[in-house]
Amino acid sequence: MRLFRLSFVLAVLVSVVSCGSRDLFRDGKSEYSIVLAQDASESERYAAEELRYWIKEVSGVDLPVSDLDGGVRGKRLIVGFNQLVEDLVPGSVRPSDRDDSFSIKTKGGDILFWGGALRGTLYSVYSFLEEELGCRWYSSKVSVAPKRDSWSFRRFSRHEEPGIIIRDNCVLDVRTNPAFSGRMRNNFVNLPGEKPGETIPGTAEGYWGVHAMGYLMSPGEYYAEHPEYFSLRDGKRLSGYAQLCLSNPEVLRICVEKIRDVMRQNPDFLIYSMEQSDNQLFCQCDECTALADKYGGQSGLMVWFVNQVADAVKDEFPDKFIGTFAYQYTRHAPKDIVPRDNVVIRLCSIECCLLHDYDDCERNVEFLKDLRDWSAIAPHLYIWDYVTDFAQYCLPVANWKTMASHIKDFRDNHAIGILEEGDYQTVSCELREMRSWLLSKLMWNPDADVDALIKDFSDGYYGAAGKYIRDYLDLEDRILRRPGVHANCYIIANDPMYTDEFISEGRKIFAEAKKAVASDKDLLERVKVAEMPLSFLHMERNPVAAINDGTEDDLMAVVKSVGMDQLAEGAWAGGVMTVDQLRARNLAIHESIDNSSNEFYPASEVKTSGQGVAYVRYEGDFMSTSEMLKKGEITSKGTMPAVVVEEDPEKDHFGYVFDCWFMALQSGVHQFTVVSDDGAVLKIDGDKVLDIDGSHPVQSRLVFVNLEKGLHRLTLNYFEDCEGQMLAVSLASPDGYSGPLPAERLYIP
């Protein structure tokens, strides 16, 4: 079974033959009717209404919509494939309902619009409105219909096919606005609670479920009676976070039964999830391990299991697919086994560097290999791609150029579909309307000219400020993509990728942008929203300065105006995930500033042994800095110029205690920020003021300490467990300094 036509060429053919031109409308008048066959689909009827609505917006003329069989007099806009199209266009064939490709053709004075009945015809109308009449749908709220007195045409013909068959632009504005989603030619939805084709007929189909193994067979339902259904790790069957023991025949039987029920009860979806849960705890029992070994790894075991599920439902559901992940521990392609024709493999790019092409970044080499390997064996490969920052949604992400090259790689490796995961929960990612618009355009045509699209959007959406938006993107390109910098989709504001120069130069550009649109309230509001990532970055890196210079107030006003409620997908960045938590944290900062006149840590009068920091280095397998102090082995002691960890980036299982006197140049609130992977604990004058201890991915935390001018004891305990390694300490002090903890203000005890 091959449901999807594997045709990946976008063909646009426009021929113009010189003969008399015809007016679709002129000076508020038209001789045209929009006509539909009686058997037109719901989506085609909707297409006729859209055509009527937008032509009226452009020309002021309200064209009648009539029945084709009713003997329409005058000229016609014929919407949908029907007998008349067959008669007028020799050799034309009725497209399959799911075919999203479309044709627009003139015949005599008529214009014919047709494609697949589910969406293709609707897309032909949108293409005409965009390409010929200049309409744009930049977001669910901002549409452009340029006013015209007349529009004339000569003979022309246009045909387009989608570069990517399944296009799921997973951002909130698209997900929650079906009309806009259809205009963006987005044809798929996949999140819990979303149903295909709701509200607007035929605009979207669906993928049922995500990580569905975890809820089709939950430990809550089965663990007490059958712990053997779940993954065996270190001799124990897991409950809670677990995967299924895929080699157990009962697990297969239950999964088949459950997914069959789901398919019967939810027949509208095209693909059904039989996907691993969102953790890495795969089963290590002998049978699972043997199967994984036999088929080239965990993905081989997964494909072996999912193939059997797909076989079991094939006869009853010949047009449906079973989807599974190639994600984290199943990302490498298997050996000596291939997915069945009715299996969809969803390959996930979560580990990739967003800033570089796949073939031009050491961090993407392995993914590109996996993409090619899967492409060679999977009849239906689908990509789950990540295009924004999930640790802090509204931070700048300089992937404007690479989004296109990544989509091209997916197309070239025969991906049938892409889910582009953006800010699906909230309205906050950087230049979100433009990012989402670009993604839709690129999924339709991966070869589209990105610079031309960016110019179209930035001038159309930001008006006179469009030029400055492009200057800002150039700045991102220059600073955030400087050599040696990489970024995945979990970046935090204190990442060294961002620099003070980037923030200050960016803010200068936005000051000009705001001036350029100062007289237009709507455009000014859009530019303020576009500036939000820079303001947020400044506030996160230096909250005291942001409070004092008014950035916080401006930012919170924009946050309110756009209705932003969530700042991150999870609580990675210092525990602040929602706007309410941000408000609470900022309130605490205000209080600490307001109290700064009363309670100081008093300065110490001590003799120091010159500039530098004393350190003790430990080695061992520990899960916290306190464990390190108890059971770590001391491997060296001494002094160093600053608080830095200079180790091989691959080195694991070590730690440091840094000890020094810190010089406060002025009395007042000092902000210390610690970014660490794994744990860190900061003490000032013997008080534990900051604690992100434990084994974890990179975390950032900041603290405000009211210090009297003079010397204060500063100790920092840090340890590295395994995987990522990071320690960065920065300071913002009342004397105006902001940056890394300065070596010249540290003294050896």
Minimum CB–partner distance for residue 485 and Zn ion (Å):
8
Give Cα separations from 592 to 157, 544, 595, 670 (angstroms): 68, 10, 5, 10
Considering the complex, state which of residue 247 and residue 324 has its C-beta at the smaller distance from Zn ion.
247
**Which region among 19-27, 397-405, 480-488, 493-501 touches Zn ion (by CB under 5 A)?**
480-488
State CA 186 to chain mean position distance.
15
**Rounded Cα–Cα distance for residues 208 and 320 (Å):** 11
Residue 722 Cβ vs Zn ion, minimum distance, rounded to whole Å: 22
C-beta of 363 vs 696, nearer to Zn ion: 363
SS3 labels along 412-435:
HCCEEEEEEECCCCCCCCCCHHHH
Is 398 an interacting residue with respect to Zn ion (CB under 5 A)?
no
Decide if residue 480 touches Zn ion (CB under 5 A): no
Provide the minimum distance between the beta carbon of 703 and Zn ion in the complex, in angstroms, as a whole number. Answer: 32
- What's the min distance (Å) between Cβ of 454 and Zn ion? 21
Q: For 334, list phi and psi in degrees, rounded to 5.
A: -80, 180
Among the listed ranges 296-304, 307-315, 357-365, 432-440, the one in contact with Zn ion (CB under 5 A) is 357-365
Task: Give residue 559's identity as a one-letter amino acid code.
Answer: V
Min dist CB 218 to Zn ion, Å, is: 17
- Tell me the torsion sign for CA atoms 25, 26, 30, 31: negative
CB 285 within 8 A of CB 291: no
Contacts of 252 by beta carbon, 8 Å cutoff, 6+ apart: 246, 305, 308, 309
Cα(272)–Cα(262) distance, rounded to whole angstroms? 8
Q: Determine contact, residues 41/8, Cβ cutoff 8 Å.
A: no
Which of these ranges, 55-63, 106-114, 128-136, 281-289, lies near Zn ion under the rule CB under 5 A?
281-289
Q: Is residue 183 near Zn ion by the rule CB under 5 A?
A: no
Alpha carbons 24 and 252: distance in angstroms, whole number:
61
Stretch that binds Zn ion, among 285-293, 307-315, 434-442, 512-520 (CB under 5 A): 285-293
Rounded distance between C-alpha atoms, residue 140 and residue 110, angstroms: 31
Least Cα distance to 111 among 30, 186, 190 occurs for: 30
Closer Cβ to Zn ion, 254 or 288, answer by number: 288
Q: Give Cα separations from 340 to 1, 17, 22, 438 (angstroms).
A: 10, 49, 53, 33
What is the nearest approach in angstroms of Zn ion to the Cβ of residue 283? 3
Distances (CA, A) of 326 to 247, 322, 415, 569, 682: 18, 13, 13, 21, 40
DSSP 8-state secondary structure symbol assigned to residue 335: S
Query: In whole angstroms, what is the distance from residue 417 CA to residue 411 CA?
Result: 9
In the complex with Zn ion, the residue whose CB is nearer, 247 or 624, is 247
Q: Rule CB under 5 A: is residue 354 a binding residue for Zn ion?
A: no
Nearer to Zn ion, 183 or 481 (CB): 481
Rule CB under 5 A: say whether 263 interacts with Zn ion.
no
Cβ distance to Zn ion smaller for residue 360 or 594: 360
User: What are the start-end ranges of the H helices in 446-574?
Assistant: 450-462, 466-479, 500-516, 521-541, 543-548, 551-562
Q: Is the CB of 118 or the CB of 288 nearer to Zn ion? A: 288
Stretch that binds Zn ion, among 161-169, 210-218, 221-229, 242-250 (CB under 5 A): 242-250
Q: Is 335 in the site for Zn ion (CB under 5 A)?
A: no
- DSSP 8-state code for residue 747: E
- Contact partners, residue 84, CB within 8 Å, separation at least 6: 37, 68, 78, 112
In the complex with Zn ion, which residue's Cβ is closer, 386 or 718?
386
Min dist. Cβ of residue 370 to Zn ion (A): 16
233: three-class secondary structure by DSSP: strand
Residue span binding Zn ion (CB under 5 A) among the ranges 63-71, 275-283, 592-600, 687-695:
275-283
Q: Give the length of the chain.
A: 749
User: Which CB atom, from 43 or from 349, has the smaller least distance to Zn ion?
Assistant: 349
CA–CA gap between residue 748 and residue 330 (Å, rounded): 50
Smallest distance, Zn ion to C-beta of residue 22, A:
53
Q: Does 172 bind Zn ion (CB under 5 A)?
A: no
Looking at beta carbons only, is 244 or 628 nearer to Zn ion?
Answer: 244
The answer to the question of residue 353 lying near Zn ion (CB under 5 A) is yes
Among 65, 88, 89, 285, binds Zn ion (CB under 5 A): 285
Assess contact for 606 and 661: CB atoms under 8 A.
yes
Considering only 1-9, 114-122, 140-148, 237-245, which stretch makes contact with Zn ion by CB under 5 A? 237-245
Pull the structure tokens for residue 586: 């900022």
How far the first Cα of the chain sits from its last, in Å, is 75
In the bound state with Zn ion, the residue whose beta carbon lies nearer, of 194 and 357, is: 357
Residues in 599-658 that interact with Zn ion by CB under 5 A? none
DSSP strand pairing (710-720 vs 654-664): antiparallel
Q: Tell the smallest beta-carbon distance from residue 232 to Zn ion (Å).
A: 6
User: In the complex with Zn ion, which residue's Cβ is closer, 187 or 299?
Assistant: 299
Closest separation in Å from C-beta 477 to Zn ion: 14
Q: Does position 245 bind Zn ion by CB under 5 A?
A: yes
Closest CA to 70 of 117, 27, 33: 33
Task: Between 356 and 712, name the residue whose CB sits nearer to Zn ion.
Answer: 356
Cβ of residue 219: shortest distance to Zn ion, in angstroms? 14
Q: Pick the closer one to Zn ion by CB: 139 or 402.
A: 402
| Per-residue interface string for the shown chain with Zn ion, residues 482-521, x marking contact by CB under 5 A | ----x-----------------------------------
d(CA 636, CA 679): 20
Binding of Zn ion by 291 (CB under 5 A): no
Partnered with residue 348 across adjacent β-strands are 384
- Least CB distance to Zn ion at residue 404 (A): 16
Helix (H) or strand (E) holding 739: strand 738-740
Nearer to Zn ion, 363 or 414 (CB): 363
Binding of Zn ion at residue 288 (CB under 5 A)?
A: yes
Q: Compare residues 177 and 243 and give the one whose CB is closer to Zn ion.
A: 243
The minimum distance between CB 213 and Zn ion, in angstroms, equals: 13
Minimum CB distance to Zn ion, residue 673 (Å): 25
- Tokens 């089963």 identify what position? 283
Q: The sheet that has 32-36: what strands, in order across it?
A: 65-67, 32-36, 75-79, 110-115, 102-107, 157-160
| Least distance CB 357 / Zn ion (angstroms) | 9
- Please, what is the minimum distance in Å from the beta carbon of residue 483 to Zn ion? 10
Which of 125, 283, 419, 576: binder of Zn ion (CB under 5 A)?
Answer: 283
**One of 76, 237, 356, 528 touching Zn ion (CB under 5 A):** 356
In terms of CB distance, is 285 or 556 closer to Zn ion? 285
Rank residues 200 and 353 by Cβ distance to Zn ion and give the closer one: 353
CB of 360 to Zn ion, least distance (A): 8
Total site size for Zn ion, rule CB under 5 A: 11
d(CA 699, CA 334): 34
> Rounded to the nearest whole angstrom, what is the least distance from the CB of residue 236 to Zn ion in the complex?
13
From 351-359, 518-526, 627-635, 636-644, span contacting Zn ion (CB under 5 A): 351-359
Return the residues of window 360-379 that contact Zn ion according to CB under 5 A.
361, 363
Q: What beta strand segments (E) does 117-185 contain?
A: 136-137, 143-144, 150-155, 157-160, 166-170
Cα dihedral 565→567→572→573 (10° resolution): -120
Residues at the site binding Zn ion, with contacts judged by CB under 5 A: 245, 247, 283, 285, 288, 353, 355-356, 361, 363, 486
